[in-house]
Structure 1
Amino acid sequence: MQPLTVVGTISGTSADGIDLAVIDTDGIAVARQGPAMTVPYRAATRQAVLEAIAAGPSDRSRWDEIGRAVGDDHAEALGAFVAAHGLRPDLVVFHGQTVWHDPDGGETVQLGDPQHVADAIDLPVIGDLRKADMAAGGQGAPLVPVYHRALAAGLDAPLCFLNIGGVANLTYIDGDAILAFDVGPGNALLDDWIRRHGLDDCDRDGRWSAAGVAELAHVEIALTHPFFARPAPKSLDRNAFSLKLVDGMSPEDGAATLAALTAEAVARAVALLPADPLLWVVCGGGRRNPTVMRELSERLTGRVAPADDYDLDGDALEAQAMAFLGARFMAGLPTSYPQTTGAREPVIGGRLFRPSRR
């Protein structure tokens, strides 16, 4: 298959914005990494998304309404992105906004209608990326590992790509061997804690966590959660952990404790890997937090480095991965495997939505 020009989109559970990125790819190799950008949600959309995430499945009454807002914001962002960079993409991948993920219950919810987006931008859109995997008995997450594998050529192996978004997940790669799973809380708890105290939207530059002292006894209590004893592959909902862990602490000590939890969960996950990685390539917003990166370096063997050190855009990588999954869908190639999601067999995930007026 000739390389396609694909725009990928994703918004994480922090709901801080819509990440967009374009790559040229045949779904096997990446011929070109193009421009990328992040467009904030409208304030009302972001607030509604965060409320829906906090409520979980106990209140589904606004999901359709919020989904329309999510789709409208994505369509507007895509239009601006394509125009700003003079792009003529072959297709767009719309992940949607995750508000609930319950793999044990066989349910994952990404708000936003791919058909609505396809009609709004008048381009083919691939959506429903996780459903086929869950139907095959998989966790529906993580989906980025096949893209990590494509990027790993030439890097020291064995290695891990470590994505620290709302939830932290890793991809272990050693030649043809691949293993992936969620490892524990990422930025979500830390973001929530900082917002609770009205300090900022996140622990920007590690300011608050660096000023505190981690309560390691509380970290050990958190690590008794049954999730950590489960074998891989496994995935985690953003709300599996709560801020009760740090109730009563100062803002600084609470932030330091949550940063230590993120790093220690990664360190404990090494026991599930075939070998200790020589390299940890850190992606996502967590790589921008010096406290988290220091905690990781102190706990892990092998080099810990931001993806940017390897000419990879750590902010755009997940959006690029969505684009890569779209190209694999068009080529009839698997997007997830038993070793990455626990599916019974390799799965080709996604569904094509063509503009109604075409």
Structure 2
Amino acid sequence: MEKYIGIMSGTSLDGVDTALVETDGQSIQLLAQDFFPIPDDLKQDVLDVCIGQQTTLVKIGEIDHRLGKVFADAVEQLIANNHIERSDIKAIGSHGQTVFHTPDSAYPFTMQIGDANLIAAQTGITTVADFRRKDMALGGQGAPLVPAFHKALFDHLDNNIVILNIGGISNISIINSDQTSGYDTGPGNMLMDAWMQQHFGKPYDKDAAIARSGTVQPELLQRLLSEDYLKLPAPKSTGRELFNLPWLEQKLLGLTLQPQDVLATLAEFTALTIADQVTGLTQSNQQNELLVCGGGAQNPLLMERLQTLLPDWEIGNTLKYGIDSDYMEAMAFAWLAHQTMHNLPGNLPAATGASRLAVLGAIYLPN
């Protein structure tokens, strides 16, 4: 068993999750976890790039450096708070911050920034990063990568398991006797959080209090559900480059709605797009179990709607199996670092669409 640190900064941009794990690739144990906030000015600069605002190469380079420093500081905080010996850590796995992801364009690419050289140099620990582009080079989407990790965690169970991560984007991993795969279902918290910030000046809707005060608007809901991405077959992946405030504003054209009603409709949109996909995975000969992780697991309205929309499914939290739902993805990138360091594949072609299994990531040495 070896120790690895995983770093995850997702599409929600709420901050940096770090996780210290011990793993041999087959079993994994979370030993410590921490959260490090992203400075507001840096968060805004990243958001501007993600939604396609005009920028410069200089600006991109500066953001890459600033994020690398934030990621390194997040690791330093994890180490200090938990009295971790650096020499005990085999490697750090850094997802980086996705600023653009376009797997289906004429020239497919995905870009995660946050200089891994800075992480390795500051921490003195070997760092693995740039996990997605090898899969994309092999014809894959470069995402989602967590299904391979979920397979290692849950493949021993006899149930029909779907792991649902509700971050900025919602994605599912499907693990049963017939298949192991996964894909992005559509928005998670991203649109709701952006609307909250724009109209209520808050980062998110705590306990779904404002969404509960609104009413779902059928016309807006139908416009949202008409999005072409939702009809695409898997494998597929998406992000902030599609689901963003300008996209939502287009859907709102000609409608005069109260902000809380828009928020309620966005919550229903997220729940419906998830439930639509999970319903099709129901098996009559097995127990159907939906394990929810990510920030959306803390949204009581989303969880209630999923339970109503999925009556044939037992819905719970990954804590049932000893996995902290808030740090699932950070753990996944610690595991992916293990795979890279041992020259083992980290992708799952059934989930990403790649032509074959592949060792992912690039290794950045501290010396």
Instruction: Determine the C-alpha separation between the residues in 2 that align with 1:343 and 1:274.
Output: 26
| Aligned residue among 19, 22, 34 for 1:21 | 19
2:265 equivalent in structure 1: 257
Q: Deviations over 1:302-331 (max 9, x none)?
A: 012122344321111100000011111122
Measured in 2, the distance between the counterparts of 1:72 and 1:149 equals 32
Q: RMSD of aligned C-alpha atoms? A: 1.8
Note the 1:161-240 alignment, pairs <5 A.
161-175=163-177, 177-240=179-242
Q: Does 1:283 align with 2:293?
A: yes
Residue of structure 1 in register with 2:62 after alignment: 65
- Matched with 2:354 is 343
Is the contact between residue 27 and residue 327 of structure 1 (CA under 8 Å) also seen in structure 2? yes
CA-to-aligned-CA distance 1:173-209 (integer Å, 9 cap, x gap):
0147201000011100000000111341011111111
- 1:93 is matched with which residue? 93
Q: For residues 127 and 82 of structure 1, do their structure 2 counterparts lie closer, same or farther at Cα, with a shift above 3 Å needed?
A: same
1:74–1:117 contact (8 Å) kept in structure 2: yes
- CA shift for structure 1 position 347: 1.9
User: Secondary structure at the residue paired with 1:55?
Assistant: coil
Sequence identity, in percent? Answer: 34
Are 2:98 and 1:79 aligned? no
* Number of aligned residue pairs: 352
What SS does the corresponding residue of 1:349 show, helix, strand or coil?
Answer: coil
Any idea what the Cα deviations from partners look like across 1:4-53, whole Å, max 9, x if unmatched? 200000101121111000111122221x2111111101222222122222
Give the conservation status (yes or no) of the 8 Å contact 1:208–1:251: no
The residue type paired with residue 326 of structure 1 is A
Shift in alpha-carbon separation, 1:274–1:281, aligned structure 2, 3 A: closer
Contact 2:181 2:348 in 1 (8 A): no
Structure 2 letter corresponding to 1:346: L
- Kept in 2, the 8 Å contact 1:149–1:173? The answer is yes
The answer to whether structure 1 residue 243 and structure 2 residue 248 are counterparts is: yes
Q: Check conservation: 1:54, 1:239, Cα contact below 8 A.
A: yes
User: Could you tell me how far apart the structure 2 residues matched to 1:232 and 1:271 are?
Assistant: 15
TM value normalised by structure 2: 0.91
CA distance in 1, matches of 2:196, 2:298: 16
Letter in 1 for 2:32: P
Match of 1:54 among 51, 54, 79: 51
Which is further off, 106-115 or 264-273? 264-273
More displaced, 319-328 or 44-53?
44-53
Change (3 A) 1:274 1:213: closer
Provide, for residues 267-295 of structure 1, a one-character-per-residue CA deviation record: whole Å limited to 9, x for no partner. Answer: 22136547477111011000111111111
Q: What secondary structure does 2:315 align onto?
A: strand
1:321 to 310, 316, 332: 332
Q: What amino acid does structure 2 have at the position aligned with 1:264?
A: L
State the secondary structure of the residue aligned to 1:181: strand
Structure 1 alignment gaps of length 5 or more: none
- Tell me which residue corresponds to 2:120: 118
Give the direction of change, closer, same or farther, for the CA distance of 1:133–1:249 in structure 2 (3 Å limit): same
**Alpha-carbon distance in 2 for matches of 1:110, 1:280:** 29
Structure-2 separation of matches of 1:272 and 1:230 = 15
* Greater displacement, 250-259 / 307-316: 307-316
Give TM-score, length-normalised by structure 1: 0.93
- Is the CA contact 1:232–1:272 (under 8 Å) kept in the aligned structure 2? no
Name structure 2 gaps, 5 residues minimum. none
Give the conservation status (yes or no) of the 8 Å contact 1:179–1:339: yes
